[in-house]
Amino acid sequence: MSEYTRKPWIRVGRIDEIPEDQALRLDTTPPVSVFRSDGEFFCVDDTCTHEDFSLADGWVEDGAVECPLHLAKFCLRTGAALATPACRPLATHEVRVDGADVYVRIERGGDDRVDGHCPGAIGSNAGRRDAEGAGHGMA
């Protein structure tokens, strides 16, 4: 069952604290990062869905982030996995710019994350577990 709890907006910082094509990691549980790309701000889960690595250190370009560890790529707007070895999407979160400040709202549902690996289903939640994904997915 999915049960959402409406969360308040969290102030991330000033817009000039997040330079173009960079990110600011927030110490939430799980961690999220706020990215700036093409003048827009995006908030996604910080941990790559391939393995446990921070995307805040990734290469940001044209609304996407590339994981520095194995070069999986994710769309910052939708969270979709755009390049293997990751195939599960990132959770996305609302972002708001108010004056010179950036805010995010992080809401989580009880079953909004898919466990397992999803080869062939890039960017969707239609996951399935396979031998290659064993040990890489969420428990």
Residues that bind ligand FES (CB under 6 A): 48, 50-51, 53, 67, 69-70, 72, 85-86
Q: In terms of CB distance, is 74 or 103 closer to ligand FES?
A: 74
In the complex, the smallest distance separating the C-beta of residue 123 from ligand FES, rounded to whole angstroms, is 15
In the complex, the smallest distance separating the C-beta of residue 104 from ligand FES, rounded to whole angstroms, is 22
- Check: CB of residue 78 under 8 Å from CB of residue 113: no
Estimate to the nearest angstrom the gap between the alpha carbon of 58 and the chain centroid.
Answer: 12
User: In terms of DSSP bridges, do strands 40-45 and 92-98 run parallel, antiparallel, or are they unpaired?
Assistant: antiparallel
In the complex, the smallest distance separating the C-beta of residue 110 from ligand FES, rounded to whole angstroms, is 26
List the end-to-end C-alpha distance of the chain, in Å, as a whole number.
18
Q: In terms of CB distance, is 49 or 92 closer to ligand FES?
A: 49
In the complex, the smallest distance separating the C-beta of residue 119 from ligand FES, rounded to whole angstroms, is 14
Q: In terms of CB distance, is 90 or 102 closer to ligand FES?
A: 90
Q: In terms of CB distance, is 88 or 93 closer to ligand FES?
A: 88
Question: Residue 17, SS3?
Answer: helix
How many whole angstroms separate alpha carbon 83 and alpha carbon 61? Answer: 14
- Check: CB of residue 75 under 8 Å from CB of residue 66: no
